[in-house]
Amino acid sequence: MTEHIQYSPDKDALVLLDQRYLPNREEWFECRTTDDICFALVVMVVRGAPAIGVTAAYGCYLAGREVQGMDGDWKANLNAKLDQIEKARPTAVNLRWAVREMRRVWQEAGDVSLDALLTVWLARAREIHEDDIAMCEAIGRFGGALMDDGDTIMTHCNAGALATAGYGTALGVVRGAVDQGKKVSVIANETRPFLQGARLTAYELHKDGIPVKVACDNACALLMKRGLVDKVVVGADRIAANGDAVNKIGTFGVAIMAQRFGIPFYVAAPVYTIDPETPTGDDVPIEDRDPREVTHIGDHRIPPEGVEVYNLAFDPTPNELITGIITEKGVLYPPYTEAIRKLFDK
């Protein structure tokens, strides 16, 4: 599954499979402006750290196209739009990485015209798109080797093709195991309140013919106690310099339970999800989203009017709960501070 993020030259638009409506219907959202890109990121037309990064890279190009029709200093106008994209969501480091990468390409290109910059930027966005698929396939090979034939793998949130440019990180590990001839199955935690596991992970795996069962988030401990979970594999929106992994809210609790029952807990993510500028997971800004995601199912309100809710979207899992971090460069093991430093030194 690689067609959910498409740049269309004919439409001069980034065309995204709108993940808000899956699995019930497949609709497409077209981005032509910076505001379109930011809207798609904020309301989760597209979500998942690597997919956010790919979208942001194309978004920088579209921002340049938008600036072509504006009065004034095009460089100042373009920098303002890049700032707008970079600040659209706070937690996934891939968003910041992608915008910084496009700025780096701009700086390296020198004093070029806007038209020349756009040519270079579109080419780089396409490279980032293609590279992400290749990285996920490599993560799948390394991670697949850690899975055993017959394993049942628990996931939390969607870290599949839909969360990346294609193939997936955590689900890339599942697909990698299948590609290696292993029969594995998946328990997809439903992932309240946005239900990425129930809606998106189940959608992907069912479409691929990989056995999947959806479980309520609060069933994890019982499933593990009954011996129904062999491994846990999750993605990450940011990994700190010490190996703490920030992922969808509830991941921390799953990791605590996995440790209690002696179940290996792996994080799968490309190297550029590791943020050496952030010392620990507690230093990562945690997005606080619209309370309506918690208070409502469709148009129906669940809690009484006037009752407030928490809707923190992510939590940091401490490095001591993580068995290994699976990247496209190989698997990192504790002590993570040293392993990550060596990785970046290379």
Taking the CA atoms of residue 71, residue 74, residue 76 and residue 80 in that order, the dihedral angle to the nearest 10 degrees is 90
- Asked whether residue 48 is marked as a ligand-binding residue, the answer is yes
- For residue 326, the cross-strand partners are 268, 331
- Compute φ and ψ for 16, nearest 5 degrees: -120, 135
230: number of Cβ within 10 Å: 18
Report the candidate in 250, 319, 249 with the shortest Cα–Cα distance to residue 278.
319
Q: Is 10 a known active-site residue?
A: no
> Is residue 248 a known part of a binding site?
yes
47 annotated ligand-binding residue: yes
> 3-state DSSP call for residue 178?
helix
> Which of 235, 190, 232, 185 minimizes the C-alpha distance to 214?
190
The secondary element (H helix, E strand) that includes residue 79 is helix 74-86
235 and 327 in contact (C-beta within 8 Å)?
no
Amino acid at residue number 324: G
- Residue of 36, 132, 151, 237 marked catalytic: 237
Do 55 and 41 touch, CB atoms closer than 8 A?
yes
Q: How many CA atoms lie within 13 A of 34 on its CB side?
A: 20
The token duo for 243 is: 């190996």
- Own/partner contacts of 327-333, CB < 8 Å, gap of 24 or more, are 327/139, 327/142, 327/268, 327/269, 327/270, 327/271, 327/274, 328/134, 328/135, 328/136, 328/138, 328/139, 328/142, 328/270, 328/271, 329/138, 329/271, 330/142, 331/142, 331/143, 331/146, 332/243
Q: What residues are labeled active site?
A: 237
- Residues at the binding site for substrate are 47-49, 89, 196, 247-248
- Residues at the binding site are 47-49, 89, 196, 247-248
